Amino acid sequence: MTVDADTAGGDAAVDGDAAELTDTDASTETNPAASTESHSASVVGGTGFTGGELLRILSGHPSFDVVQATSRSADNMTVGRSHPNLRGLDLRFSDPADLESVDVLFAATPHGVSMERIDEFLAAADTVVDLSADFRLPDADAYDEWYDGHASPEYLDRAEYALPELNRENLPGADLIAAGGCNATATILGVKPLVDEGILAPDTGEVVVDVKVGSSEGGAGGGAASSHPERSGVVRPYAPTGHRHEAEIEAYLGLSVSFTVHAVDMVRGASATCHVFPDAPVSKGDLWGAYRGAYADEPFMRIVSGGGGVYRYPEPKAVAGSNHGEVGFELDPGNRRVVVFSAIDNMTKGSAGQAVHAANVALGLPETAGLEFDGLHPVGAP
Ligand SMILES: NC(=O)c1ccc[n+]([C@@H]2O[C@H](COP(=O)([O-])OP(=O)(O)OC[C@H]3O[C@@H](n4cnc5c(N)ncnc54)[C@H](OP(=O)(O)O)[C@@H]3O)[C@@H](O)[C@H]2O)c1
């Protein structure tokens, strides 16, 4: 990670000039005990958006060999027919009823499928990484409250939350991994350093989060609300209160969060603006210390906070198609407020990239394997 010399110290960064960190050095960090063996992999739900993103990442991964991608609707059709960016991939979809035996099964299916089929998935694979919400929450009560209950609650204790920045130490050897929700991932990455540093107290700290998210969040069958004519140009509050990711955020941050989501006119990306009201006054130096302490050694995290140029704060467009996450912050002392920004690609850091990152850690592979690519710039609405 590089730090501009003029802004490396805490309060020196208040004026914002060039106060930007990048992750150049950290991205080469690897696990010294890392294995280089090849692992077979399957993607259940391969025609979907996150399934396609998994196939894109895994097909370029040095240690994974994709042997199966499933679809009920596109059985025996080429992967390239659903994902034109993968026309070069020599693979056809097969029926999810006939699972091949693999080292790692990635499930990119709608909520409810994995919890019904988890015994089959675990019989077919040594490690299951589920991208749905089916194993993210800690207990059956939470599923009763936020979803429609749970079909296999006996697996909830066994599942590990995928986000390595939060749960790295529990991933090695895990056989059931739950990738986080995209809005929850953006929010947790933004706010967690303040909780860890004690700037935000679990009992009294107040957090109000507004997430803007792109249409790919709704999946390939996103419905009328995500059709082009309806989505174009909107900044539409689609979950003013009661979004299910609120449960996930509260479970992993350990504090109450007021959470709202807007559907906006982009394809990829989730941008969380978090209004944080700490109990005690906080300085810009405190904030730099918290975020640098949390992310200086993280290979995929960038702190972008008031630097120069057009993109002075976290920006979904700057991370689109990559596994990077950006966080940044500003102080609003007159209102006792810290405003935190967090940007990810919902389909990469917010699901498929996070899933592969977690699998890398679980299997003892180099953490960044298969994920060492940047996004594009300039590019249209991501
Ligand atoms: N999109 C995002 O940004 C995002 C981010 C984080 C997490 N997630 C989660 O990731 C999961 C997948 O999301 P997505 O956006 O990729 O959805 P999607 O585009 O709708 O794709 C769903 C996939 O699952 C397959 N499928 C549906 N029902 C199935 C069943 N009963 N058995 C087997 N396969 C089935 C579909 O293909 P067939 O119907 O042809 O079988 C399709 O390939 C969801 O749980 C979602 O909540 C999504």
State in Å: Cα 45 to ligand 1 middle.
6
Q: Which residues pair with 209 in a beta bridge?
A: 259, 274
The confidence band for 1, taking pLDDT boundaries of 50, 70 and 90, is very low
Closest listed residue to residue 274, CA positions, set 224, 181, 338, 325: 338
**To the nearest whole number, what is the mean pLDDT of the chain?**
91
Ligand 1 atom with least separation from CA of 351: 6
State in Å: Cα 50 to ligand 1 middle.
7
Residue 193 parent element (H or E): helix 182-196
pLDDT value at residue 222: 84
Do residues 345 and 217 touch, judged by C-beta distance below 8 A?
no
Q: Which of 73, 99, 109 to mutate to test the pocket of ligand 1 (most atoms within 8 A of CB)?
A: 109
Ligand 1 atom with least separation from CA of 111: 45
Give the count of beta carbons closer than 10 Å to the beta carbon of residue 86.
18
Token duo for residue 107: 């499930």
Token duo for residue 239: 């979950």
Give tens-digit pLDDT for 282-298: 999 999 999 999 999 99
pLDDT value at residue 183: 98
| Four-CA torsion 123, 126, 127, 133, nearest 10 degrees | 10
Q: pTM for this structure? A: 0.92
Residue 208 has pLDDT above 90, yes or no: yes
pLDDT value at residue 197: 96
pLDDT value at residue 46: 98
State in Å: Cα 155 to ligand 1 middle.
21
Residues contacting 140, CB < 8 A, separation 6+:
149, 150, 153, 156
pLDDT value at residue 35: 54
Q: Which residues pair with 161 in a beta bridge?
A: 178
The residue-averaged pLDDT of 14-21 equals 33
The confidence band for 37, taking pLDDT boundaries of 50, 70 and 90, is confident
Q: How far lies 224's CA from each of 154, 212, 229, 244, in Å?
A: 36, 18, 9, 21
Do residues 321 and 295 touch, judged by C-beta distance below 8 A?
no
Q: Whose CA is nearest to atom 23 of ligand 1?
A: 45
Q: Whose CA is nearest to atom 27 of ligand 1?
A: 109
CA distance 321 to 310: 20
Closest listed residue to residue 187, CA positions, set 360, 341, 312: 341
- For the stretch 137-166, what's the b/e string if a residue is b when 16 or more beta carbons lie within 10 angstroms of its beta carbon? bbeeebbeebbeebeeeebbeebbbbbbbb
Ligand 1 atom with least separation from CA of 117: 32
Residue in 182, 199, 263, 294 annotated catalytic: 182
Using CB distances shorter than 6 Å, the residues near ligand 1 are 44-51, 71-74, 96, 108-111, 113, 131-133, 181-182, 216-217, 219-221, 346-347, 350-351
Q: Which of 49, 50, 357 to mutate to test the pocket of ligand 1 (most atoms within 8 A of CB)?
A: 50
Write the single-letter amino acid at 189: L
Give tens-digit pLDDT for 40-96: 999 999 999 999 999 999 999 999 999 999 999 999 999 999 999 999 999 999 999
Do residues 228 and 215 touch, judged by C-beta distance below 8 A?
no
CA distance 342 to 326: 6
The residue-averaged pLDDT of 115-123 equals 98
State in Å: Cα 52 to ligand 1 middle.
10
Ligand 1 atom with least separation from CA of 75: 40
Ligand 1 atom with least separation from CA of 131: 10
Ligand 1 atom with least separation from CA of 270: 3
pLDDT value at residue 202: 84
Please report the domains of the chain, with CATH numbers, ordered by start residue. 2-27+183-346 (3.30.360.10), 31-158 (3.40.50.720)
Instruction: Tell me whether the omega of the peptide bond preceding residue 333 falls within 30 degrees of 0, making it cis.
Output: no
Residue 320 has pLDDT above 50, yes or no: yes
Closest listed residue to residue 338, CA positions, set 292, 279, 260, 294: 279
pLDDT value at residue 307: 85
Residue 33 has pLDDT above 80, yes or no: no
Q: Whose CA is nearest to atom 2 of ligand 1?
A: 217
Give tens-digit pLDDT for 324-334: 999 999 999 99
State in Å: Cα 271 to ligand 1 middle.
22
Closest listed residue to residue 338, CA positions, set 224, 191, 226, 142: 191
Known catalytic membership, residue 182: yes
Residue 137, SS3 per DSSP? coil
Q: What percent of the chain has pLDDT over 70?
A: 91
Q: Is 107 exposed, middle or buried (0-12, 13-18, 19+ CB in 10 A)?
A: buried
Q: Whose CA is nearest to atom 25 of ligand 1?
A: 45
State in Å: Cα 21 to ligand 1 middle.
35
pLDDT value at residue 345: 98
The residue-averaged pLDDT of 10-35 equals 37
Residue 142 has pLDDT above 70, yes or no: yes
Q: Whose CA is nearest to atom 30 of ligand 1?
A: 113
* DSSP state, residue 199: S
Residue 321 backbone phi and psi in degrees, to 5 = 80, 0
Q: Which of 351, 354, 356, 357 to mutate to test the pocket of ligand 1 (most atoms within 8 A of CB)?
A: 351
pLDDT value at residue 382: 79
The confidence band for 22, taking pLDDT boundaries of 50, 70 and 90, is very low
Are β-strands 301-303 and 235-239 bridged in parallel, bridged antiparallel, or unpaired?
A: unpaired
Give tens-digit pLDDT for 241-293: 999 999 999 999 999 999 999 999 999 999 999 999 998 999 999 999 999 99
Q: What percent of the chain has pLDDT over 90?
A: 85
Minimum mean pLDDT range among 114-118, 179-183, 304-308, 341-345: 304-308
pLDDT value at residue 36: 60
Q: Which residue has the higher pLDDT, 10 or 130?
A: 130
State in Å: Cα 216 to ligand 1 middle.
11
